[in-house]
A and B are shown apart, each in its own frame.
Chain A
Amino acid sequence: MAVLTYREALNEALREEMDRDDGVFIIGEEVGEYDGAYKVTKGLLDTYGEWRVRDAPIAELGFAGLGVGAAMTGLRPVVEFMTWNFALLAIDQVINSAAKLYQMSGGQYNVPIVFRGPGGAALQLAAQHSQCPEPWMSYVPGLKVVSPATARDAKGLLKAAIRDNDPVVFIESELMYNTVKDDVPEQEFVIPIGSADVKREGSDVTIVTYAKMVHHSLIAAGQLKAEGIDVEIVDLRTGRPIDVPTVIESVKKTNRAVVVEEGWPACNIGAQLVDDIQREAFDWLDAPIARVSGLDVPMPYAKNLEKLVIPNADHVIAAVRHVCHGKQG
């Protein structure tokens, strides 16, 4: 095992997959000479050259579509969006091209492509740079959506995404690149897309979450332990497909559930999870499911207002206490 940052883990995954398959290339803004806006692609240009590490103009629609066309003709592109906020300019290529070509062509043209970059809020970047794209992307049949919370998961899932024969949306985080670090196996490993991971075992309540909110939930669980509440944390890791069986198994054990995510509350992945749980574990529930999410507003700039919008461990603790109210310990 080696302790790597989230950023280093992603870089290793890219290197390993580029070494393994010479059809893998990276295209995006600043990925080459500048070493990546967030240094995820550091050093790759020197190793692989400009046709495999391509500095693109600021033209998200164009280079995302270039990736799709390259994927249709035998390559495995990794398209980096400097942030997912800018991917909105390219959404026609992600949804109307990448996600649909396999079906529209009657199964002739699959599109093995990864669209990756950071999503979610960072630090006071205001409304246009602080959005969580997971629910938008998870709505679309034909896509797979990955949002890892640890360095280990980031590496294993990015390798899986690059090897996948269908388009994969891969959402990282500016705030996790450097602050999240954990043990990453030194030997080759791949984590299957669509598998959730129990990040903490517990018996009293299940928190279902993903990405940055996994860490807030872990902090909350530590504090709740002192109150005698034993929290289980299921990290979805993948927004599409959702690993429903793992979620249900946990809820049937704890009989209580809280779903936690960073983004807006309406029509989000948490809303979908509540539906899955009530359908498949209604009789096991001892309390209504609670949801924690960001506030339903564009992100304000002011530091205190931003703090109000983004969920934190205190919000998670409050929600857990609520669903565990009256629980006999």
Chain B
Amino acid sequence: MSDPTDPVTQDEASRPDAAPDHPGAGDDSPPTPPDGSLSGNGTGSAPMEAAFLGLSRDESVELLRQMMIARRLEEKAAEVYQMGKIGGFCHLYIGQEAVAVGSITPLRPDDYVITAYREHAQAVVRGMSPEAVMAELYGRVDGCSGGYGGSMHMFSKELNFMGGHGIVGSHLPLAIGAGYSIRYREGDQVCLCFFGDSVVNIGAFHESMNMAARWGLPVIFLLENNAYGMGTDIRRVAAADELVQRGKAYSGLESVVVDGMDVLAVRQVVEEAIERGRTEKKPTYIEARCYRYMGHSMADPSHGTYRTREELEQWRSDDPILDYSRQLIAAGRLTEEQYKEMDAEAIARAEAAAEFADQSPLPEPGAVYENVYSDAYPHGIARRDDWREEFS
């Protein structure tokens, strides 16, 4: 990331110009949502307050704090991954923090959240401890999934965080299942479902949106359009000029675009979607245009074959954390000193999480047969290898 300790002096002239599919890009002003609703209607403090969606000073600073914790945790994950502490795939969220924070923070605890495999930050924003996330990355017993899931399968039933799914698009049907449960019980919750841009081409996307719209299921389909499905530019494989237009096919589905690099803009459209779900029992499809600063996973380069260094640098200069910190400072809600303190705290928190994970024990070998069935492991079902020592 760019040096976040220096938010004020960041060179404004280096902002991206005309980055594709990105509202608000192409001028030197801070990003605004496409409908301009946050731009205010005059000068003075009222528009300024409106710009913060009625959030108190502390609440608005909290959004920044959460983005910073997520960022520093992911940076730590990258570091320890390279040290060999984390196995398997590791997909980092760096650059997309505004989407998670803007969308999860307005939810109630009894709402549901479900997501794909780039979910560490989303889990933390939902309330999971960085320790539980990091211990899961390390495959330890104190991980949020007991070491069974790893990077791609983080769960917390207590937080209604339904995972953590590794097959592209496979969790969208699960999201409408949560929505179905809500309607079935005549509740007023919503289910927030994150997914990436490559999902718009898979059948589960269509099947889920169709049923959600037809039956009025309160699901918020939150597309994080970071422009690339792994290393493939979404524009090369999607027959849609804008991914938001995919939602227009369904009667009863509101489809909106938002600047996914702007935490307040995300929060505003998600608040509207939550209200639509709670009161009108209708789903919403949101395309949040954003960018990941790292490769698809830790195994991939951040740029090179499929995107240029220049493009990456342009988006880096539109960093959601830096932009928002400037906004808070300009509004007199944050000082540079506070920012530095918060960043130091976020770094310390990530360090502590890694330390905790390192100390957490590996699962016992006997745990290998646990959690396959919730009832007792049925007799005759375990085809144990005769030549190994039995566990138990």
The chain A residues found within 8 Å of chain B, CB to CB, are 25, 51, 54, 56-57, 59, 61-75, 77, 92-93, 96-97, 101-110, 141-142, 144, 164-166, 193-194, 240-245, 279
Contacts and interface: CB of A to CB of B under 8 A. Distances in A.
A72 B370 contact: no
A142 B104 CA distance: 31
28 contacts: A61-B173, A61-B203, A61-B204, A62-B176, A62-B207, A62-B210, A65-B170, A65-B177, A66-B208, A66-B211, A69-B174, A69-B175, A69-B177, A72-B162, A73-B112, A73-B162, A73-B181, A75-B184, A77-B177, A92-B167, A102-B371, A102-B374, A106-B148, A107-B371, A108-B156, A141-B381, A194-B379, A242-B381
A106 B143 contact: yes
B163 A101 contact: yes
B237 interface: no
Contacts of B147: 106
A103 B372 contact: yes
Which 9 A/B pairs are nearest by Cβ-Cβ distance? Answer: A69-B177, A65-B173, A62-B207, A106-B146, A241-B381, A69-B174, A105-B155, A110-B374, A241-B378
Given A57-B207, A73-B112, A97 B170 contact: yes
Contact of A75 (B181, B203, B210): B181
Given A56-B211, A75-B181, A106-B145, A68 B379 contact: no
B178 interface: yes
A241 B380 contact: yes
A101 B165 CA distance: 9
B153 interface: yes
B391 interface: no
A185 B156 CA distance: 43
A92 to B, nearest CB: 6
B182 to A, nearest CB: 8
Nearest to A90: B173
B373 A166 contact: yes
B149 A68 contact: no
A218 to B, nearest CB: 24
Contacts of A65: 170-174, 176-177, 204, 208
B185 to A, nearest CB: 8
A242 B375 CA distance: 16
A70 B174 CA distance: 7
B153 A66 contact: no
Contacts of A244: 379-380
B236 interface: no
A102 B211 contact: no
A91 B112 CA distance: 24
B388 to A, nearest CB: 15
B207 A59 contact: yes
Choose among B164, B176, B211 the residue with the greatest number of A CB atoms under 10 Å from its CB.
B211
Contacts of A72: 162, 174, 177-178
B278 to A, nearest CB: 16
Given A61-B173, A102-B374, A243-B379, 5 more contacts: A62-B203, A66-B177, A70-B181, A96-B166, A166-B373
A61 B145 CA distance: 26
Contacts of A71: 177
Contacts of A64: 173
A286 B57 CA distance: 84
Contact of A59 (B145, B166, B210): B210
B183 interface: yes
B194 interface: no
A194 B377 CA distance: 11
A96 B114 CA distance: 15
A192 to B, nearest CB: 9
B160 to A, nearest CB: 8
B380 A243 contact: yes
B177 A108 contact: no
Identify which of B170, B179, B380 gathers the most chain A CB atoms within 10 Å of its CB.
B380
B180 interface: yes
B170 A92 contact: yes
Contact of A102 (B181, B185, B373): B373
Interface in B248-277: none
A64 B172 CA distance: 11
B144 interface: yes
A109 B155 contact: yes
Contacts of A75: 180-181, 184
B143 to A, nearest CB: 7
Central interface residue in B146, B157, B181, by most chain A CB within 10 Å = B181
B173 to A, nearest CB: 2
A279 B387 CA distance: 13
Given A57-B211, A66-B177, A106-B145, A164 B375 contact: yes
